[in-house]
A = this chain, B = another copy of it.
Amino acid sequence: MPGTMEPINIGLMGLGTVGGGVAAALSNNAEEIQRKTGRTVCLRRALVRDAGKTREPAPPAGVLTTNPEDILADPEIHVVVEVMGGDSPAGEYLERALAGGKHVVTANKEVMARRGASLLALAQSQSVNLLFEASAGGGIPIVGCLMSQLLANDIRSIRSIINGTTNYILTRMARSQTPFAEALSEAQSQGYAEADPTNDVEGIDAAYKLSVLGSLAFHQSIPHEAIHTEGISRLGPEDFRYAAELGYAIKSLAIAAAQPDGTVQARVHPALVPEDHLLAKVDGVYNAVEVTGDLCGQIILHGQGAGRDATTSAVMGDILNVVRFIDSAGPPPLLPVPNGRGHQVGNSIRPIDELSSAYYLRLTCADQAGVLAQIARLLGDGNISIATVIQKDTDPGSGTAQLVITTYPSREADVQTALAAVAKLGVVVSVDNLIRIEQ
């Protein structure tokens, strides 16, 4: 470690949107950083793919490199800040940085979801910090809250809107009855969705983030592959219309909840949310995380989940905290509490089949007498109680009608089984959607 008068040197991996924000903050706020940490913090190296690219402002001479060794093998670099994204090679770089005794700050949700447990163990064994506030929730300070301020709580559940792209699309669909494909291409033209939107609209990005948050909240590994994940592409404008009539908004939620048997249920999917709930009011690219703990009760954090400045806020906060604590002896103070409950990784995730939830079902049926009776019988046989039925959009041409059914809380497996039987009824043209209802 450097002497207390020497500068702390940063090796920045990635100089894209967020990396550019971090580099600018390190340079523009140098005096503030010195005041807040008591140390001078220098950007010593920045790893880029193309050192010849024109950058505005141009980094000082000698800072850019295309060789990761210039950061990983430099003993004068004390903190590695990784904002490249993607599992590989970023994950290997971080392993090497930690193994080499460097502190690490990362914004990488995929690396933290896939390798968080082993990286944290490595950091612990090397007595260095590994901070990752920006890996979930962007500028919303949820990671630190789970590790620090809310640490005394037995966390019961997390319910969150943690993908801004998806929320932007859903907000558009709800407000203007825009079909999914159109709302997506609008999001792409606004720069809110990537050319290949799969990670966002299929819930993969949210599952990485939920893995990070759930692992902190429940002190056990929540592997992202074990999270039941559904995207939003099946939602139609009519779902938003019917949901509104029933008093609900539709949001893509990432939920992790402790179960009485010690397992955790973790899932990402569209959900009906009561329209007076604060989560229903999270609009556009905003994110929100609701945490319920035994002591704190329900806390909601709302803010910008992505974007250059918000992510820079989180990364810079981590850098400042690493620097403030860099002279502390003893164990690395900022690491989260690990795997306390001794669960086997992956064994502790409850399958979606065992979910108990209320459901919204949308079907296209023959517009004739007795249809509802046939459907209701199959649902009843499957232990599913109907809460409301709305018949809609009768189409005299095809002789069909839309049927919207909401249920009382039922077991997911029962609902799926009954719905498969319903789909086989001669009077049922199609089962168009199943959306879980959150209260």
Residues of A within 8 A of B (CB): 21, 25, 29, 32-33, 35-36, 38, 133, 139-141, 143-145, 148-154, 219, 278, 281, 293-304, 307, 309-310, 312-314, 316-317, 319-321, 324-325, 327-331, 333, 337, 340
Contact = CB atoms under 8 A, between A and B. Distances in A.
A303 B298 contact: yes
Contacts of A154: 29, 32
A152 B317 contact: yes
A272 B330 CA distance: 51
A149 B36 contact: no
Contacts of A140: 299
A218 to B, nearest CB: 13
Contacts of A33: 152
A286 to B, nearest CB: 9
A299 B152 contact: no
B329 A309 contact: no
Contact of A301 (B300, B312, B317, B330): B300
Contact of A145 (B21, B141, B319): B141
Nearest to A34: B340
A274 B333 CA distance: 43
A296 B303 contact: yes
Point out which of A36, A139, A319 has the most chain B C-beta atoms below 10 A from its C-beta. Answer: A139
A16 to B, nearest CB: 17
Contact of A278 (B281, B294, B297, B313): B281
- Pairs A-B, 9 closest by C-beta atoms: A152-B316, A141-B149, A295-B313, A329-B329, A299-B303, A296-B313, A328-B328, A144-B149, A139-B296
Nearest to A152: B316
A406 to B, nearest CB: 25
A233 to B, nearest CB: 29
A168 to B, nearest CB: 16
Nearest to A32: B154
Interface centre among A33, A151, A301 (most CB of B within 10 A): A151
A370 to B, nearest CB: 45
Contacts of A141: 141, 145, 148-150, 296, 299
A153 B333 contact: no
Contact of A310 (B36, B139, B281, B296): B296
6 contacts: A25-B295, A139-B299, A144-B145, A278-B278, A300-B300, A301-B301
Given A300-B302, A333-B333, A148 B150 contact: no
A22 to B, nearest CB: 10
B36 A340 contact: yes
B297 A139 contact: yes
A365 B330 CA distance: 72
Contacts of A312: 152, 295
Contact of A317 (B149, B303, B321, B340): B149
Nearest to A336: B36
A392 to B, nearest CB: 29
